[in-house]
Amino acid sequence: MVWFVQPLERKDKDGKPSGLWHLCAQSDEGGGFYTGCNHDHASAEEAQDCIEAKVRLGQVTGFPYVASKIKVNGIEFEVHGDMISHEQICALAGKPVHASATYLGPRKGDSERSGITHVGKSVKLEDGMSFTCVVTGNA
């Protein structure tokens, strides 16, 4: 059985798009149709990021949702979502957004990936990533 998990727009009573979204799961073999949460979302992206929906649909599909565990300046945090922004990294570190932030993380296979984040940019999260966030001054 294959599960299709995707955000879908709810229809109004006339069958027209309502502008309200839900993360939903449906199987290809008649295993049912499930809505992830009981509240509405204003966009497909917002529905896709709903932790409550991810947890419920993980239980239904057999693929449980697990938050990513990362370290920021040596302190472990549990974070939700597929991406983390420079601003979120700085907030977890207790530093201002003009701080420098670097990352090191696993990549599929044996290699590692590393880089520098910038204001307004995000990094794809992998479980076990490590971030360093420091204020470097006017270097």
pLDDT of residue 87: 96
The answer to the question of residue 28 being in a domain is yes
> Do 52 and 86 lie in a common domain?
no
**Of the residues 23, 46, 61, which one is the last residue of a structural domain?**
61
Smallest CA-to-CA distance from 37 within 69, 59, 67 is with: 59
Characterize 36-68 residue by residue with b for buried, 16 or more Cβ atoms within 10 angstroms of its Cβ, and e for exposed: bbeeebeeeeebbbbeebbbbbbeebeeebeeb
The domain that holds 82 is classified in CATH as 3.10.20
Per-residue pLDDT tens digits for 97-136: 999 999 998 876 667 889 999 999 999 988 889 999 999 8
> Do 49 and 87 lie in a common domain?
no
The answer to the question of residue 139 being in a domain is no
> Do 50 and 80 lie in a common domain?
no
Smallest CA-to-CA distance from 21 within 39, 40, 6, 38 is with: 40
pLDDT of residue 127: 84
Query: In total, how many domains does the chain have?
Result: 2
Q: What is the mean pLDDT of the chain?
A: 90
**pLDDT at residue 138 tops 70:** no
> Do 72 and 130 lie in a common domain?
yes
Per-residue pLDDT tens digits for 51-107: 999 999 999 999 998 888 999 999 999 998 788 999 999 999 999 999 999 999 887
The runs of H, that is alpha helices, within 62-131 are 86-93
> Do 89 and 49 lie in a common domain?
no
Boundaries of domain holding 36 = 3-61
> Do 53 and 84 lie in a common domain?
no
